[in-house]
């Protein structure tokens, strides 16, 4: 199963005034393990950062979803809370989740969170919104995220409005096995009875010869 990891990278950065400064910047990416996260950050930043860079820290980070808007490079960490009923008790359980959203201000982050979560069936509060130091995100893709362009991950995620993308970190071997089983069923459905009898006959002949 893929998870979000915050990876801190140290390198020498050229500032807008032409001066060079040693900086440490955090990036967020989806990976299966800490080792995978380290390998992927070297792959992603190798074409972006000139010169050598060093990974100084990798930490697992809990984000439920990430809402990226093309008009903003600033990330805001938003904490939402809501009450959820439990099967074992009549009392509601308080649940908290963390999100990242691209915005220009705290107010815009607040409005965009309400817009993005408008389909929730329960009332929720946003008790905390803070600026995140995250520089960029590298989400999971089926091709191990090797392509340059980013895209939404799942077809069943919330409807994406113009200029917004939604990212999470799903993906597991169980899902892959399930897809393979579905593909086999589709192949069997496409074969008619004559084709199946021909395949069975070939197997019987091969077994007899052996």
Burial class (CB in 10 A: 0-12, 13-18, 19+), 150: middle
pLDDT of residue 143: 56
What is the distance between the terminal CA atoms of the chain, rounded to a whole angstrom?
Answer: 43
Q: How confident is the model at residue 171 (pLDDT cuts 50, 70, 90)?
A: very low
Query: pLDDT band for position 25 (50/70/90)?
Result: very high
Report field, pTM of the whole predicted structure over 0.85 = no
What's the token pair of residue 26? 């955090």
pLDDT of 183 reads 43
- Between CA 77 and CA 128 the distance in angstroms is 8
Read off the pLDDT of residues 142-161 as tens digits, 9 standing for 90 and up.
654 444 344 444 444 443 34
Give the mean pLDDT of 81-96: 80
At 31-60, the pLDDT tens digits run 999 999 999 999 999 888 888 899 999 999
Quote the pLDDT of residue 166: 84
Q: What is the largest distance, in Å, between two alpha-carbon atoms of the chain?
A: 81
CA angle 145, 80, 2 (to 5 degrees): 25
Residue-level pLDDT at 14: 85
pLDDT at 140: 79
Please tell me the least confidently modeled range out of 109-118, 178-187, 198-207.
178-187
Output phi, psi for 81, to 5 deg.
-135, 145
Strand partners, 20: 14
Q: Where are the domains of the chain?
A: 3-171, 177-209
Instruction: Quick: pLDDT tens for 95-140.
Output: 999 999 999 999 999 999 999 999 888 899 999 999 999 999 998 7
């Amino acid at each position: 199963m893929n998870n979000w990891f915050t990876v801190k990278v140290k390198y020498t950065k050229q500032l807008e005034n032409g001066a060079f400064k040693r900086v440490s910047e955090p990036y967020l990416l989806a990976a299966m393990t800490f080792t995978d996260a380290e390998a992927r950050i070297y792959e992603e930043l190798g074409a972006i950062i000139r010169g050598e860079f060093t990974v100084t820290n990798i930490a697992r980070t809990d984000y439920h979803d990430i809402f990226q808007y093309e008009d903003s490079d600033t990330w805001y960490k938003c904490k939402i809370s809501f009450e959820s009923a439990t099967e074992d008790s009549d009392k509601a359980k308080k649940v908290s989740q963390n999100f990242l959203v691209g915005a220009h201000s705290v107010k815009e982050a607040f409005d965009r969170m309400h817009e993005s979560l408008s389909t929730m069936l329960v009332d929720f509060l946003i008790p905390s919104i803070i600026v995140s130091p995250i520089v960029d995100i590298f989400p999971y893709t089926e091709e191990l995220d090797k392509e340059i362009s980013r895209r939404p991950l799942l077809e069943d995620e919330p409807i994406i409005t113009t200029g917004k993308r939604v990212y999470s970190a799903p993906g597991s071997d169980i899902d892959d096995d399930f897809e393979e089983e579905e593909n086999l069923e589709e192949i069997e459905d496409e074969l008619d009875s004559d084709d199946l009898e021909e395949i069975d006959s070939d197997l019987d002949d091969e077994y007899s010869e052996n």
